[in-house]
Structure 1
Amino acid sequence: MHRLFLFAIALFCLVLTQAEAADLASPVGTWRTIDDETGSERSVVEIAEVGGELQGRIVKIFLRPDEKPDPVCDKCEGERKDRPVIGMTFLWGLKPDGSSKTEWAGGAILDPKNGKVYNAKAVLADGGQTLRVRGYIGTPLLGRSQVWKREAN
């Protein structure tokens, strides 16, 4: 009976460890974005898998002293025009890139500051603790990257 109990505890711990490892093998989760120009924390975003694609939405913004509270995307076009930035889906369409288990491509990312939509790709790094997100026009060589840090659960 004692061995069965120890085996059950060991199995439970193994399942928990595997579940945590699986989470780190995917960008799904909550991330803290770091401004590529200033190096400061800029926002918290949630990435979810929807229909086999990754989507990201803004859940919190770290406002600078010169920024208005409750910002809207006044430079956006279409359905996002004048909509609140918080809660907005700004990243969409990312799919696994070939056989790589750490890269996603083929998506789009919106910069709410200028309202422009760019091609997007993302690479999971540092054992799932960072996500390198690149927005670009045409080719990934012509773009900007940010490194996002995974939020602790």
Structure 2
Amino acid sequence: MIKKILFAVLGFGLISTSVMAQDISGVWRHIDDKTGTSKAHIEIRKEANGTYTGKIIKVTPREGYTPKETCINCPAPYTNKPILGLDVLKGLKFDKGNMYNSGKILDPLSGKIYSMNAKLSPNGNRLQMRGYVGISAIGRSQTWIRNTAVQ
């Protein structure tokens, strides 16, 4: 009897750990795939419908770069909106395991919106983002790193 209870508690613990590992909510550092430097901090939140949305909460200053303040070339409803606080990731859905799909991501520098998929690393600290037009094979990947520091 005690063994059954112990296995049940252990089983529930493993299930809750795997569910928590699937959640991408939190603050992420957006890493530039060309320079390897941090570009921005994005806060990802889970919406009531189960999808994920991410907004820019900090733009990281970098040498030789003056950040834009508004989304000038962006389509409506993003046109001329402040970049800080802008929802750049929308509709990302958990698929299975560590995979997410069906999202849209806005590049506030170019004003282009891309379809996107993401893969969470096994330790939950890296999010490999893939933005594309048409098919995923023709696209670009970026890594976001979970910001574990207290904000």
Superposed pair shares fold, TM > 0.5: yes
Query: Which structure features the higher share of helix residues?
Result: 1
Deviation of 1:20 (Å):
7.4
Deviation of 1:127 (Å):
1.1
Distance in 1 (alpha carbons) for counterparts of 2:66 and 2:113: 23
1:57-84: CA deviations, max 9, x gaps?
Answer: 0000112344445611101011111111
Aligned pairs for 1:63-74 (under 5 A) are 63-68=61-66, 71-74=69-72
The yes-or-no answer on 1:143 pairing with 2:143 is no
Question: In the superposition, relative to structure 1, how do residues 19 and 84 fare at CA in structure 2: closer, same or farther (>3 Å)?
Answer: farther
TM-score (norm 1): 0.80
Structure 2, unaligned runs of 5 or more: 1-8
Alignment partner, residue 3 of structure 1: none
Structure 1, unaligned runs of 5 or more: 1-10
Alignment partner, residue 75 of structure 1: 73
Task: Answer whether contact 1:70 1:86 (CA < 8 A) is retained.
Answer: no
Following TM superposition, where does structure 1 have runs of at least 4 consecutive aligned residues deviating by more than 2 angstroms? 18-25, 63-70
Distance in 2 (alpha carbons) for counterparts of 1:106 and 1:66: 35
Alignment partner, residue 82 of structure 2: 84
| SS of equivalent to 2:77 | helix
Q: Percent identity?
A: 35
Task: Answer whether contact 2:98 2:122 (CA < 8 A) is retained.
Answer: no
TM-score (norm 2): 0.81
Alignment partner, residue 59 of structure 1: 57
| SS of equivalent to 2:113 | strand
Distance in 1 (alpha carbons) for counterparts of 2:69 and 2:90: 21
Q: How many pairs were matched up?
A: 137
